[in-house]
Amino acid sequence: MKNVLKIFIVLAIVISAMQVSAQKTQKLGHINFAQLYEMMPGQDSIRAAFTAYQEQLSGQFQAMQTEYETKLNDYQTNQATMSNIIKQTKEKEIVDLQRRIQEFQQTAQEDLQAKETELTTPIIEKARNAVKDVAKENGYSFILNSTEGLVLYTEPADDIMPLVKKKLGLK
């Protein structure tokens, strides 16, 4: 009987210890990450570099647009005196130039986005690392971006994807 009582007491202690560790408090914090980003040093140089790149692309676009307008005006002015082969050649040049302008616009937009990412990534990473360090130093389990509701930091945890997939019968 004494052994059963001892086993019961040990089990009670183990169960209570497991409950205490399972009830670990989750400390939650938030930050306005956009505001933090704007406060980071280097914003002026990023804006200047981005604007310079944007103006370079804009200059190239303007040159192409001017060339298009010149060719179109020349074609419209001299169309009546052109032979069929010259008309066809000029029309092909104008259509080709329109296509190149459209392709340039699309590529320029993609390039601008890539340039922005290239310029901003180091500052964003520096800010994220600071958030992560503060979270660890102060015992936060989660840090939310208060402007967007996104999780910026979370403690390492188990990925339950395999368990959910199994529950749903997915492979």
State the total domains in the chain: 1
pLDDT for the residue numbered 20: 47
Per the CB < 8 A criterion, the answer to whether 36 and 134 are in contact is no
How confident is the model over 94-120, as a mean pLDDT?
Answer: 96
Q: What is the pTM of this model?
A: 0.65
Cβ neighbours, 10 Å, residue 143: 23
**Is residue 13 domain-resident?**
no
Which residue range forms the structural domain that includes residue 114?
A: 24-168
pLDDT bucket at 120, cuts 50 / 70 / 90:
very high
What integer best gives the mean pLDDT of the chain?
Answer: 83
Contact 150, 144 (CB under 8 A): yes
pLDDT of residue 65: 96
Asked whether residue 52 is domain-assigned, the answer is: yes
Residue 162 has pLDDT above 90, yes or no: no
Contact 152, 144 (CB under 8 A): yes
What is the chain's alpha carbon radius of gyration, rounded to the nearest angstrom? 32
Say if 16 falls within a structural domain.
Answer: no
Q: Is residue 34 part of a domain?
A: yes
Question: 74-95 in b/e burial notation, b at 16+ Cβ within 10 A?
Answer: ebeeeeeeeeeeeeeebeeebe
pLDDT score for 48: 95
Phi, psi of 122 (to 5 degrees): -60, -40
Residue 19 within a domain: no
Query: How many CB atoms are closer than 10 A to CB 164?
Result: 10
In angstroms, the CA 76 to CA 87 distance is 10
**73: in domain:** yes
